Structure 1
Amino acid sequence: MTVTIKDIAKRAGVSYSTVSRALNNRPEVNEKTRREIQKLAEEMGYRPNAIARGLVTQKTGTLGLVIPDITNPFFPEVARGAEEEADRRGYNVFLCNTAWDLEKEQRYLEALVSKRVDGIILSSASEDSEYVARLARSGPPLILINRVLKQVNTNYVVIDNIRGAYMVVEHLLDLGHRRIAYIGGPEKLEPSRERFEGYRLALAARGVDIDPLLVRYGKFKKEDGYRNACVLLEDPALRPTAIFAANDILALGVIQAARDLGLQVPEQLSVVGFDDIPFVSYGEIRLTTVAQPKYAMGEMAAKILLDEIQNASKQQKKHVVLQPELVIRNSSGPPLQ
């Protein structure tokens, strides 16, 4: 049975308001009474009602974190950064995984608002959400991570995707590759578009024309990397000497397809990813990739959001663009002559 303030008051023989003041360390209660009531509350197993307290303080001490794919190791690292910063500041985090489902994303956002979270960190599955735009105007404080949304005026922390992709293609060109394919995620999503733009700009800077047949899109899933790589690699006349995959999960699918077709990486095909998720640096994979500061992205997003929550006055929206780093490992090398 849940112990209430009234139960403590009855046992202590004092008023309800005296117990409330003692438990909240209010100065109206003398030190001896406060210690006795707090000790009694602990003995009785009393736990504060966060909902009731939130109605009084207009704060619940909670944040919502909404991500599109918990199975992608990129997002748990972002979540860890956000959760640890929130914990340092005395906040709890509700984690919601939308599985790239826009309807599910909206349901989660509505649930978080109804639970009166103090703020929301969102990596949206959408590129243009009217609901998120309304939420940014009239809901709790909001910050976007990993991608920005059209017509949504709010804080964000993102990576310089164009710069990261440019570095990948520049590296492959320096190795001597000219037939470089691009396998992206959904074409409508900003990270996929921006990484293609970096790919395009790097090729253009060296006077290399894009072959439209070498550009493929799908979901940010291993099976889509595998499927698109098979299309590119099965026809020797079409086959590229290098593939830039827009994330590491896609790159793992590309490497699997190459192996199943009897191609050696990097001797017969160079493969480069994006994200630097934990296990791509181990074992046989040793993937060349672009490292994103994943933990820092989550940590910084939580810090900006909590600063806004704890500073009631409206402040200028913060737009942070983190810098990528090219990590060269064993999956890229010069093309066969």
Structure 2
Amino acid sequence: MGVTIKTIAKELGVSYATVSRALNDHPDVNEETKKRVISKANEMGYQPNAIARGLVNNETKTIGLVIPDITNPFFPQVARGVEEAAVTADYNIFLCNTNWNPEREDHYVNALMQKQIDGLIMTPSSEDVNHLKNLLNSQLKTVFISSFIPLNDYTSIIVDNAKGTEKAMNYLIKKGHRNIAFIGAGEERYANQERLKGYKNSLKKHDIKIEDKYITNVKNSYDRKSGFDLMNQIIDNFNKKKLPTAVICYNDLLALGVIQALRLKGFKIPEDMAVIGFDDISFSSLPEVQLTTIAQPKYEMGKIALETLIEKIKTGSEKKFENKIVLSPELKIRATT
């Protein structure tokens, strides 16, 4: 067990209250006693109990960060934005990874609430957060990232998903593509629906028929293997004359899987098929990949989420916040188109 105020008091032969007051610079304790207490505390390696102090001060200076997939390079960049902004604001971060599992998500949120965190930042496994009953029934200040949760008193930090996909589609159409596939992930997800909306909006504006055969979704994970498997299915289900000449993927990991499948089947990129991802993760700009992608301002999303959450904590219910903060995406054109 660590050194406590009681341990220090016993060593010095003074009362528990005297040590507590000395460490908190209380005016009732004389300077000589304060110096003795502080010296002994440093000598014994005393660390104040943050949770106990938080209960007294009604704050623990800690924030929970819950992400769904730490292996996806998108989320560490978001986490870096959160963490660096937290350091500036003198807050500490508890990081939890859920692997898109709602039960694990609920477990972590409850565990963080038991640790008396001051606020929570999270990307939930889906926009349906009814399983997070304790969170929804609490007054805990919460900000969501990359998911739009249309509930009062919550703020979501998102990118303009429709605009991003529309930019990519307009670019492909300008390059002469007409048969463009869309590979989504999680049909019920707000981001997927908005990206599909951008895809369809662009086709309508250019008077190109929307064909359901070119619209597919991965069912479970949104990773490279899912993109690889789905692209192989697309190649097997179409003959070469009907294959799309370009594909836009829900994220960069899916796009990397698509590229792998195409190359193993002997297709040239972009001559036979152009590929565009979404996110602009670090792998996308590697010389051997050079993936055209719709870049999300990942670091900024994390930073804004933390700053918004701190403002929510400090203002309490005095200030009304926007339900969502929408950031602009950027099309990064590289070798795959």
What TM-score does the superposition give when structure 2 sets the normalisation length? Answer: 0.94
Alignment of 1:203-242 (within 5 A): 203-218=203-218, 219-234=221-236, 235-242=239-246
Instruction: Spell out structure 1 runs of 4+ moving beyond 6 A.
Output: none
1:265 to 245, 266, 269: 269
Specify the alignment match of 1:89 in structure 2: 89
CA distance in 2, matches of 1:99, 1:145: 16
One-letter code aligned to 1:239 = L
Alignment of 1:29-44 (within 5 A): 29-44=29-44
Specify the alignment match of 1:135 in structure 2: 135
1:116-138 Cα offsets, whole Å, 9 max, x none, are 11111010112212244762452
By how many angstroms is 1:59 displaced?
1.5
Give the secondary structure class of the aligned counterpart of 2:204.
helix
| Corresponding position: 1:328 with 2:333 | yes
By how many angstroms is 1:296 displaced?
0.6
Percent identity among equivalent residues?
Answer: 45
Task: Out of 111-120 and 73-82, give the one that drifted further.
Answer: 111-120
Contact 2:296 2:329 in 1 (8 A): yes
CA distance in 1, matches of 2:208, 2:132: 40
Contact 1:133 1:151 in 2 (8 A): no
One-letter code aligned to 1:244 = I
Alignment of 1:1-337 (within 5 A): 1-132=1-132, 135-136=135-136, 138-151=138-151, 153-218=153-218, 219-234=221-236, 235-318=239-322, 319-332=324-337
Specify the alignment match of 1:335 in structure 2: none
One-letter code aligned to 1:280 = S
Contact 1:3 1:46 in 2 (8 A): yes
What TM-score does the superposition give when structure 1 sets the normalisation length? Answer: 0.94
Give the secondary structure class of the aligned counterpart of 1:273.
strand
CA distance in 2, matches of 1:280, 1:196: 22
Gaps of 5+ in 2: none
By how many angstroms is 1:323 displaced?
0.6
Question: Judging changes above 3 Å, is the alpha-carbon distance between structure 1 residues 30 and 156 closer, same or farther for their aligned structure 2 residues?
Answer: farther
By how many angstroms is 1:7 displaced?
1.8
CA distance in 2, matches of 1:134, 1:238: 51
Contact 2:110 2:135 in 1 (8 A): no
1:233-283 Cα offsets, whole Å, 9 max, x none, are 333133110000110001001100110110011111100000000121012
CA distance in 2, matches of 1:13, 1:311: 43
CA distance in 2, matches of 1:40, 1:68: 45
CA distance in 2, matches of 1:253, 1:39: 60
Aligned alpha-carbon RMSD (Å): 1.6
By how many angstroms is 1:229 displaced?
1.3
**Matched residue pairs, number?**
332
Task: Out of 230-239 and 197-206, give the one that drifted further.
Answer: 230-239
CA distance in 2, matches of 1:154, 1:202: 31
Contact 2:127 2:189 in 1 (8 A): yes
Gaps of 5+ in 1: 333-337
Contact 2:182 2:199 in 1 (8 A): yes
Question: Judging changes above 3 Å, is the alpha-carbon distance between structure 1 residues 59 and 153 closer, same or farther for their aligned structure 2 residues?
Answer: closer
One-letter code aligned to 1:229 = M
Give the secondary structure class of the aligned counterpart of 1:257.
helix
CA distance in 2, matches of 1:193, 1:227: 22
